[in-house]
């Protein structure tokens, strides 16, 4: 706090010195600007958008779409083709060998544990798939 002496009436007037307060605020702003880009991020997930009501999905789009289904009984399917945990990575590498766009989706039943879906995503990422999307029952129904 600063003090100013008034020569007119003889009383002392105290004034707040705001310079240190501004310095502190500027330092805090710089600290937050540096820390913000370092915050941890999760996996980027794609969610397929439902088709407009009454529109049919084209055959070419259905052919290009790769969906890995994780069933509640522990079985796996890649586009309705049965596979196992051990052969899933190799099979996905074969599918995406000739494709430029490396996008696939994971679909899990309601009773499936999250650890199984995460394991499927991990195998998909290890086999070279760049973007992994999630399909839920509501999205598939078009809601």
118: CATH: 3.30.420.270
Q: Which two tokens stand for residue 105?
A: 């989706």
Instruction: Give per-residue pLDDT as tens, 68-102.
Output: 899 888 889 988 888 889 999 899 888 888 888 88
pLDDT value, residue 49 = 60
pLDDT at residue 26 is higher than 90: yes
Dig out the tokens for 32 from the structure. 């937050």
Same-domain status, 52 and 106: yes
- Our count of domains for the chain comes to 2
Same-domain status, 11 and 50 = no
Domain span including residue 22 = 2-38
Specify the pLDDT at position 39. Answer: 66
Q: Which of 106, 110, 105 is nearest to 72 (CA)?
A: 110
Across the chain, mean pLDDT equals 78
**Whether residue 89 sits in one domain with residue 129:** yes
Mean pLDDT across 111-124: 89
Burial class (CB in 10 A: 0-12, 13-18, 19+), 105: buried
Task: Name the percent of the chain lying above pLDDT 70.
Answer: 69
Residues 24 and 58 in one domain: no
- Does residue 66 share a domain with residue 114? yes
- Tell me the C-alpha to C-alpha distance, in Å, between residue 2 and each of 19, 21, 126: 11, 13, 65
């Amino acid at each position: 706090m600063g003090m100013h002496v008034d020569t007119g009436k003889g009383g002392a007037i105290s004034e707040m010195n705001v310079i240190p307060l501004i310095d502190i605020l500027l330092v805090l702003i710089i600290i937050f600007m540096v820390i913000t880009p370092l915050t941890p991020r999760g996996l980027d997930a794609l969610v397929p958008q439902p088709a407009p009501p009454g529109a049919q999905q084209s055959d070419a789009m259905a052919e290009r779409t790769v969906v890995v289904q994780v069933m509640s009984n522990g079985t796996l399917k890649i586009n309705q083709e049965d596979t196992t945990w051990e052969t899933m990575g190799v099979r996905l590498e074969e599918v995406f060998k000739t494709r430029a766009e490396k996008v696939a989706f994971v679909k899990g039943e309601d009773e499936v544990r999250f650890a199984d879906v995460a394991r499927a995503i991990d195998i998909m990422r290890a086999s070279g798939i760049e973007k992994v999307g999630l399909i839920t029952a509501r999205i598939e129904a078009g809601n």
